[in-house]
Structure 1
């Protein structure tokens, strides 16, 4: 990867993206809503944008959903 690729990705970041800190602060709420079948991405646009863009946060979200599903079983 060269510097242009990183710059291009940065310039195409969704302006609604709330960043890692805010996404992590609300991740449990977001995951609970998704697990309950609520369209959380409509209520929390910034978190949805961040989870699409940030691989590590997206993985944390998927793990949390799996844990919630495991508790429900």
Structure 2
């Protein structure tokens, strides 16, 4: 990560570690009520906007949940 990337980081972004710990809960809630998920987990929402690999994992979880 260079300085420009760091300065553009959303201060709400929880990072990969915390996002992965809670991603299953976020995905479960997001599948039924996306607005509530974004409100309840703003740090995960911010992280998913910035992190491609975590966003890919999230999309995979959603696909499994929606079956």
Quote the Cα distance in structure 1 between the aligned partners of 2:59 and 2:34: 16
Larger radius of gyration: 1
Q: How many residues align?
A: 66
Shift, 1:9, TM fit: 1.6
Give the ranges of 4+ consecutive aligned residues of structure 1 lying more than 2 Å apart after TM superposition: none
Where does structure 2 lack aligned partners over 5 or more consecutive residues?
A: none
More helix by share: 2
Q: SS of the counterpart of 1:21?
A: helix
**Pick aligned residue for 2:32 from 36, 50, 58:** 36
Matched, 1:19 2:19: no
Root mean square deviation of aligned Cα: 1.3
Matched, 1:59 2:56: yes
Where does structure 1 lack aligned partners over 5 or more consecutive residues?
A: none
Q: Give the equivalent residue in structure 2 for 1:69.
A: 66
